Structure 1
């Protein structure tokens, strides 16, 4: 997989041999919708891959498929990923994490969790409308249960590229608890206004 992190994270990893995400330094965790979505994902990770190591509170995120159903690192020239450069100086690390320690999920589907929205399993417009009308008829308490159950679909990353209704798995993210120095294979430094270069 590939994870983008501030350059200081890479320096810490080289120094200490291990990196755990500090929730107090996360830009995204300042927002309520991200806090709720992370809480849900953390519970899924505990259920599907096991509890985190001691003192680890939140997961590290990485790309498993970055575009067009391809298992490849993000293309630094591809404009869609420019939003991911959150820091003036950051790295993209190619990492090798044991499969049983990673929870993969569909990136587009994840946005339904972030938006606290119902993820309909519909495969056509008619069924989509029918299911959403049914969902709207439920009580708020029942809606929340149905929404959370619908989010399990994001863990199906099967490639089914047929039409706009069956395009799950095009972009896949991976969550894991911690990163060790010996799990890093390659490192590229992405510094603002400087050429991308491999540093490890």
Structure 2
């Protein structure tokens, strides 16, 4: 499967140096979402197998399959290298071909329900009739004396909250925005590395608007 990952310069250099990159909470700005990452890792184990040796068992590598209906390469061209991405350290766009069975697709929009520990309706967040299921869940939380959007509730509440979460991997929006998670990303899979700004490559004095092979940047 053809995928794309945004990386900062350090991650890209690690990919070249080590031959792969793996998920690492120490290098992530999203440690607060560890429970959601752990849940998704459990789903990955059930669908694509255990993490290989040396990979973090609860922190996958994230990549894009499709972004707002476009490949990330086309998305970059359409949006002139979104500044919000660059500010988050996305200096490189790396394209790679993931082998069959090495990644798990999931719906990017509905993933945010898992990240925020929210109830996800059975037809997903894009369904037209959400009110009935949401109201029923909120009523359950009220009866059990817990907040439907904050903290943990009793087992009955948490079971209801998570009942539909796996729909994010059952029905990823491949026409909108779909992400992929992997245990590792290997350098041998890479077919493209694109610097998204002059700051991506040390010594560059002006923006670089070209594409090059991994071996050309060290």
In structure 2, the CA distance between the partners of 1:27 and 1:196, relative to structure 1 (3 Å rule), is farther
In structure 2, the CA distance between the partners of 1:113 and 1:5, relative to structure 1 (3 Å rule), is same
The answer to whether the aligner puts 1:27 opposite 2:40 as a matched pair is no
Q: CA deviation at 1:72?
A: 5.0
Q: What stretches of structure 2 of length at least 5 have no aligned partner?
A: 145-152, 200-205, 214-218
Q: RMSD across aligned C-alpha pairs, in angstroms?
A: 2.3
SS at match of 1:3: strand
Query: Following the alignment from structure 1 to structure 2, what is the Cα–Cα distance between the partners of residues 180 and 109?
Result: 28
SS at match of 2:76: coil
Larger deviation: 113-122 or 56-65? Answer: 113-122
SS at match of 1:45: helix
Q: What stretches of structure 1 of length at least 5 have no aligned partner?
A: 160-167
In structure 2, the CA distance between the partners of 1:173 and 1:102, relative to structure 1 (3 Å rule), is same
The answer to whether the aligner puts 1:38 opposite 2:37 as a matched pair is yes
Q: 2:9: which partner in 1?
A: 7
The structure number with the bigger radius of gyration is 2
> Which of 175, 187, 193 matches 1:187?
193
Q: CA deviation at 1:186?
A: 0.5
1:160-182 deviation digits (Å, cap 9, x = unpaired) = xxxxxxxx751000000111111
Query: Following the alignment from structure 1 to structure 2, what is the Cα–Cα distance between the partners of residues 143 and 169?
Result: 32
The answer to whether the aligner puts 1:130 opposite 2:129 as a matched pair is no
The answer to whether the aligner puts 1:149 opposite 2:163 as a matched pair is yes
In structure 2, the CA distance between the partners of 1:9 and 1:95, relative to structure 1 (3 Å rule), is same
TM-score, normalising length from structure 2?
0.76
**Conservation of the 8 A alpha-carbon contact between 1:157 and 1:172:** no
Query: Following the alignment from structure 2 to structure 1, what is the Cα–Cα distance between the partners of residues 169 and 14?
Result: 31
**Conservation of the 8 A alpha-carbon contact between 1:21 and 1:178:** yes
SS at match of 1:51: coil
**Conservation of the 8 A alpha-carbon contact between 1:106 and 1:169:** no
TM-score, normalising length from structure 1?
0.82
Query: Following the alignment from structure 1 to structure 2, what is the Cα–Cα distance between the partners of residues 43 and 81?
Result: 32
SS at match of 1:100: coil
SS at match of 1:120: coil
Query: Following the alignment from structure 1 to structure 2, what is the Cα–Cα distance between the partners of residues 38 and 62?
Result: 14
1:11-63 deviation digits (Å, cap 9, x = unpaired) = 2222222222322111122xx2x111111111111111111112211211100
Q: 2:76: which partner in 1?
A: 76
Q: CA deviation at 1:64?
A: 0.3
